[in-house]
Structure 1
Amino acid sequence: MAVSRFLIGGIASALLLSGGVFIWKGYSQIAEEAVIPDAPPDPGPIPVAGAGAPKRGAAPPELPAAKDASREERRFNRYDRDRNEVVSRVEMMSTRTAAFRKLDKDGNNLLTFEEWAAATGERFAGADKDKSGGLSRAEFATTAPKRAAVAKCKC
């Protein structure tokens, strides 16, 4: 019984192998018969304008001037990273990531009260120039985040 299964399996695999060879040969003959042109046909001579033809056509229509974006539009566009006209929560919070990383001293992506208090205390102490324990209006103004300098284009 085991020998007959072995023989049947051998005959079936030989038939499959020979069928695959015939199919492969048939496809290779079809591919050899197909003609693929190497280059497009020659379009012929290029027409040349006559002596009395105008040098160029009419001027293109005037394009409308681009309007300057308002302050709010520029601010919105800063947050709308994927330019789909909608600000997602991820886009809104992405600008806060760098500030969070500075506060997270141990780098575990969790901000403890101690980490926050230490950073706030250092910032307060740096702003309290007269060491009075309170911030005057001028001292408080120094705690605002510094704006990044905008490079002028030298186009």
Structure 2
Amino acid sequence: MWRFLAGVGSALALVAAGLFLFRSDAATEKLPPPPAMAAALPEVDAPLPDDPPAATARTREQKRFDRYDKDRDGRITRDEYLASRRKAYAKLDTNGDGRLSFDEWAAKTTTKFATADRGRDGALDAGEFATTAVKRKPKRRADCPPATPAAEES
């Protein structure tokens, strides 16, 4: 029973300490940036706008419409709509006979497998298979100025 009471007491003590830390004035005090960073920060006189500019759904949809409307007549014909598919099909139809064989359709995958199969044994081990993973773009990062080393004070 005494272990239970000790656990409850320590939990209450932790909650009280947390409340004390969050309500202290030290937590709300704003400190100026270090001198090395203050020199690198640009001075801005104008306040930032309330709402950042954003593309509207209409703008994105208009861009998509314009990609298909090749003759710019404000209408998308069936031929305009299917033009991108015809181009993709023509790239796959390497012999130009108007029909896709399985090998033409799977050419990219076949090439990827052949490139990954370093041992040329017709099978991929775990290390070879790992090289076939889709390469994803890294997430966008903010471009920050490089950190300048702190000047040595004498």
TM-score, normalization: structure 2?
Answer: 0.36
Larger radius of gyration: 1
Q: Which has the higher contact order (CA 8 A, sep 6+)?
A: 2
TM-score (norm 1): 0.36
